[in-house]
Structure 1
Amino acid sequence: MRLIFKVLFLLIGTFGFAQAVDYNTKGGYAVEGYDVVSYFQGQPLEGKKEFTTTYDGTKFKFATKAHLETFQSDPKAYLPQYGGYCAYAVAINGKKVSVNPLTYEIREDKLYLFYNKGKNNTLESWRNESPNELVSRADKNWEQIKN
């Protein structure tokens, strides 16, 4: 019986049924249902149910069919860094913290999202410190916590 469970576990891992990254899916969708392509056009837009796809076991919504098709042609180009968790929190303490999807930065063609509630806007902290150093720290921390 144990052998059967081990074989099933190995098959699931081998065929990619488990998602590779833990995405922040508050509300059931990555980036709380915001259209990840729209960020790169300078205006975050809420996605619509009729323009939905699944990538890496995670649902994404888009504002238009064109944005959906753009994402499908090169999903990795539009994925939020650190699974859509707060980039600053990942860098500073290696924690997965939810974000405000309207608090973001595009840096070197990558989407970074941030926590912003009350007087705590981590995007401001990110910009006031050394963003390039924080990216390096977050990249290292993410390797430890991404699954």
Structure 2
Amino acid sequence: MKSLAKTLQTACVCALALTAPAFAADEYNVSSGLTASGAPLGLHGIDPVAFLSLGNRFDGAASFAADHDGVAYYFASAANRNAFEADPSAFLPQNGGFCTFGVSKGKKFDGDPKFAAIVDGKLYVFLNEAVMRLFQKEQAGVIADAAANWPDIRSVPATEL
């Protein structure tokens, strides 16, 4: 009987652990696998506070992690983590971290922070360099189209778009 109870308990814990990341994966671009907190990793582990504050990519560390809305973000320092926790919306990548150009077309593609732009204090990420160059040619229109599309596709799995 103890063995059955233990098995059921383990199954419940596993099911709960998988529930939040599955939901987050629909609305946020996350890396595969889970962090120590059980949440998937956002922004490829790049520190969003350092990125927006300094305009450059810095790898975050698991020792300075914070979870927001079912997604874990890594930071380069405790100060950056604390700034994020005080106002996550100021630092989150736009469109859930998906490629902004893709979202402008109604799709969810990986947003790679190697290809990113900061516009009016907001972080936009792109699939690759070629897509980022397309964004640069029609920046205002892409941002506007992505903002219009995002509410409709936010909770839709990428495979269904």
TM range (shorter): 0.7 to 0.9
Aligned residue in 1 for 2:69: 56
Structure 1 residue 123 and structure 2 residue 137: aligned? no
Displacement, 1:131?
1.0
Q: Identify unmatched segments of 5+ residues in structure 2.
A: 1-22, 33-39, 156-161
Partner of 2:81: 68
Pairs within 5 Å for 1:105-120: 105-116=117-128
- Per the normalisation by structure 1, the TM-score is 0.79
Counterpart secondary structure, 1:50:
strand
Query: What corresponds to 2:28 in structure 1?
Result: 23
Aligned to 1:133: 141
The answer on whether the counterparts of 1:100 and 1:114 sit within 8 Å (CA) in structure 2 is yes
* Deviation readout 1:40-72 (Å, 9 max, x if unpaired): 111111110100011111111101111101111
Task: Check if 1:100 corresponds to 2:115.
Answer: no
Question: Residue 85 of structure 1 aligns with which residue?
Answer: 98
Write the letter of the residue equivalent to 2:51.
Answer: Y
What is the one-letter code of the residue matched to 1:83? G
Q: Secondary structure at the match of 2:117?
A: strand
Give the TM-score of the pair, scaled to structure 2.
0.73
Alpha-carbon distance in structure 1 between the residues aligned to 2:111 and 2:88: 21
Could you report, residue by residue, the CA deviation over 1:10-42 in whole angstroms, capped at 9, with x for unpaired residues? Answer: xxxxxxxx65x7111114311111111111111
What is the CA-CA distance between 1:83 and the residue it aligns to?
A: 0.4
- Does residue 33 (structure 1) correspond to residue 45 (structure 2)? The answer is yes
Distance in structure 1 (CA, Å) of the matches to 2:90 and 2:28: 16
Secondary structure (helix, strand or coil) at the match of 1:97 reads: coil
CA shift, 1:121, in A, is: 1.9
1:114, 1:121 within 8 Å by CA — same for their partners in 2? no
In the aligned structure 2, how far is the partner of 1:145 from the partner of 1:35? 26
User: RMSD value over aligned CA atoms?
Assistant: 1.4
Corresponding position of 1:145: 153
